[in-house]
Amino acid sequence: MKIFPAIDIKDKKCVRLVKGDFDKITDYEISPVEQAKRYTDYGFKNLHIVDLDGALTGETINLDIIQKIVHKFDIKIEVGGGVRSIDSIKKYTDVGVEKVILGSAAIKNKNFLKEACEKFPNKIAVGLDAKNGYLSVSGWKENSNQLTLDYLREINDYGASRLIYTDINRDGMKQSPNFKETSKVADISNCPVIISGGVSSIEDVQKAKSLNKNIEGIIVGKAIYDGDIKLEELAREIDA
């Protein structure tokens, strides 16, 4: 199983939100590049980055930081946050990002997702952010009135190479991920699924390993920053 430590970037700093709420933000004293170095020093091979400035503006605001991380360290990076155009995807892939995550733009416009998958084969991940079974968009402020599983069935053959399933009610809350719903998504998905939102302990990571074989990995964020999960114990869960 792939373990994705998370870096959320805002104003050039590492931050964490609770349920995606910009009014509930915690700043950390470490820079994104320094944090990426910590992860690579412990042997992590994958990294999940969200450009929160990008999520707010629709621009690749922190492209320079992400490029620096890609070039400095031997780590595969997936990046999301306000990616709304083919041009933005190209900017990320040109600097060496492994996967570009499409969220609201892909849910609001399936044709955009289809075009992106065709133009960037094996580079597109889809972020499914759900609340009570329904997809949310626009930084989780807006309910799409679309059932997660119905949407997935519609786009299942478009050619996305990864799904990232987040239960918004769990995100930043450290109450364990929604394993049950993630397993339902993995059961019908044509591509591998990443668990996101609510990881609170090393037991959550170990449980994820025992689930559906189509679950590729797990994202760990706030629990690392707050010290609930030590990097040395998390590193022991990395698959050889």
240 inside domain: no
- Beta 162-167 vs 124-131: how paired, if at all? parallel
Looking at mean pLDDT, say which of 51-60, 152-161, 225-234 comes out highest.
152-161
Say what the pLDDT of residue 137 is: 84
Domains of the chain: total: 1
Among 198, 166, 161, which Cα is nearest to 181's?
A: 166
Question: In the predicted model, is pLDDT for residue 143 greater than 90?
Answer: no
Average model confidence (pLDDT) for the chain? 92
DSSP 52-89: HHHHHHSS-TTHHHHHHHHHHS--EEEEESS--SHHHH
Q: What percent of the chain has pLDDT over 90?
A: 77
Identify the active-site residue in 8, 51, 167, 204.
8
Mean of the pLDDT values across residues 2-21? Answer: 86
129 is catalytic: yes
- 189 pLDDT exceeds 80? yes
Q: pLDDT tens for residues 145-167? A: 899 999 999 999 999 999 999 98
Whose CA is closest to 179, among 219, 220, 213, 212? 212
Question: Of 22-26, 96-100, 113-117, 196-200, which gets the smallest average pLDDT?
Answer: 22-26
The CATH number for 58's domain is: 3.20.20.70
Residue 239 confidence (pLDDT) above 90: no
**Percentage of the residues of the chain whose pLDDT score is greater than 70:** 93
pLDDT for the residue numbered 170: 80
Contact predicate 237/204, CB 8 Å: no
**CA nearest 40: which of 210, 235, 218, 182?**
235
Residue 163 main-chain phi, psi, to 5 deg:
-115, 140
221 occurs within a structural domain: yes
> Are 51 and 61 within 8 A, CB to CB?
yes
Residue bearing the bigger pLDDT, 30 or 143: 30
Do residues 159 and 125 make contact, with C-beta atoms less than 8 angstroms apart?
Answer: no
CB of 150 within 8 A of CB of 184? no
Cα angle for residues 100, 4, 108 (degrees, 5° grid):
35
Q: Give the burial class of 220: count Cβ atoms within 10 A of its Cβ; 0-12 exposed, 13-18 middle, 19 or more buried.
A: buried
* Residue 140: predicted pLDDT: 56
Residue 168 sits in which domain range? 2-235
Q: Which residue has the higher pLDDT, 104 or 20?
A: 104
Residue 154 lies in a domain: yes
What CA–CA distance (Å, rounded) separates 164 from 115? Answer: 19
pLDDT of residue 240: 45
pLDDT at 173: 67
- Average pLDDT over every residue of 135-139: 78
The confidence band for 78, taking pLDDT boundaries of 50, 70 and 90, is very high
Phi (first) and psi of residue 182, to 5 degrees: -60, -40
Please check whether residue 206 lies inside any domain of the structure: yes
Catalytic position from the list 23, 87, 129, 187: 129
pTM score, two decimals? Answer: 0.93
Where residue 26 falls among pLDDT bands split at 50, 70, 90? confident
Q: How confident is the model at residue 20 (pLDDT cuts 50, 70, 90)?
A: low
